[in-house]
Amino acid sequence: MRPSIKQVATLAGVSIATVSRLLNNPGAVSAETAEKVQRSIAQLGFRPNFTGRNLRAGSSRTIGVVLPTLANTVFAQCLQGIELAARALDYSVMFTTTEYQPAEESDAVELLLAHRVDGIILTVADASANATLDLLEREDIPFVLTYNQLPDQPAGASGRFSVSVDNRAAACDAVNHLLASGHRRIRMLSGRFDASDRAMQRYLGYLDAMGAARLEPMPPIELELHTLTAAADYQQMLSDPLLRPTALFCSNDMLAMSAMRDLRALGLQLPRDMSVMGFDGIPIGALVEPVLASVVQPSEQIGDVAVRTLLGLLEQRGGSVAPATGAGRQVLAHSLRSGGSVSPLAGV
């Protein structure tokens, strides 16, 4: 066993309380005692044991994070933002993944709760009806959703918090961008709606844009997220020349890039034979040729803001202030990245 506060105290010839004070409130210790204790600490290589501290304090200065996967750059960026912000604010991060399995969400959260994290940042499949979120609320554990976008209720109505872009409006912008390039037969390629409520919101944005342009929307194509081949779906999509889309709006960039690869494999010339628009704005999309046109979400900032929001909640709970005020739903600005993956349609 490593040295504890006790051995430090013994070696320095003081009580354990004095050592504790030096650690937590150095001002309350005389200069010479401090000196002595510091020496003992150095000599023993003492390092405070957070487990003891946490047990006593009832808080761990640790936040739990639950994300669908790290295979999608977007979540890696978000976690990066979370970790940076947490560290800057002297919190540690305990991280877990659900692999997009809604069933994993509750296990993940249970584990974090057993570790007594102070709060949780998470992205769930569907925030609107989610037993895990209900549990968190019931147990009064502060949590902040990322990417999931809470409904636009009167401030604080749900008592829940989310940090995201306006998925629906952003998707609408994306489709408008395609429309402005002359496309009319635009089809949406989406991750599974039941694994991502964002995908559904983006589809609604697609419908908005198509509707506003008085165009008949086409049925969405739902693909397994991160499936690298969906040749059959593409074949079918391309088969009828009359219904064949000229542009694809994809619910995320990974999907968009996979689709482009698959379409090329089928012999299409891109963007000549098909324009492709993504969503997420992953950095790599800007490096490739053609540049992947996309809606840019500030993923790292989403993580950063989520941390600050969560710590805000923890703070006011510490001070036992009145229940959450202000907007529970934070909507961050998105932007449009145009790129060569979208080409103007002849005749525009």
Residues in contact with DNA by the rule CB under 7 A: 1-2, 4-6, 13-21, 23-24, 28-30, 32-33, 48-49, 51-53, 55-58
- Residue 29 in contact with residue 18, Cβ under 8 Å? yes
- Distances in whole angstroms, Cα of residue 341 to Cα of each of 121, 159, 257: 34, 41, 10
Binding pattern for the stretch 287-326 against a second copy, x by CB under 8 A and - elsewhere: xxx-------------------------------------
Instruction: Pick the binder of a second copy from 131, 231, 284, 321 (CB under 8 A).
Output: 284
Candidates 47-55, 122-130, 237-245, 323-331 — which segment interacts with a second copy by CB under 8 A?
Answer: 47-55
Dihedral of CA 67/70/74/78: which sign?
positive
Q: Give the count of alpha carbons within 13 A of 31, CB side only.
A: 0
Nearer to a second copy, 204 or 270 (CB): 270
Nearer to a second copy, 282 or 313 (CB): 282
Given its phi and psi angles, is residue 178 left (phi above 0), alpha (psi -120 to 50 degrees) or beta?
alpha
Give me 165's structure tokens. Answer: 């872009």
Candidates 251, 255, 288, 256; CA nearest to 274 is 256
Of residues 181-210, which lie at the interface with a second copy (CB under 8 A)?
none
For residue 162, list its beta bridge partners.
145, 329
6 binds a second copy (CB under 8 A): no
Rg (CA), the chain: 26
Single-letter residue type at 162: S
223 binds a second copy (CB under 8 A): no
Nearer to DNA, 36 or 183 (CB): 36
- Residue 266 is classified by DSSP as T
Phi, psi values for residue 119, rounded to 5°: -170, 170
Cα–Cα distance, 268 to 234 (Å, whole number): 11
The site partner of 80 among a second copy, DNA, none (C-beta below 5 to 8 Å per kind) is a second copy
Binding pattern for the stretch 57-86 against a second copy, x by CB under 8 A and - elsewhere: -x-x-x------xxx-x--xx-xx--xx--
The site partner of 5 among DNA, a second copy, none (C-beta below 5 to 8 Å per kind) is DNA
Point out which residues bind a second copy (CB under 8 A).
1-2, 45, 47-52, 54-55, 58, 60, 62, 69-71, 73, 76-77, 79-80, 83-84, 87, 92-97, 110-116, 139, 254, 257-258, 260-261, 264, 270, 283-284, 286-289
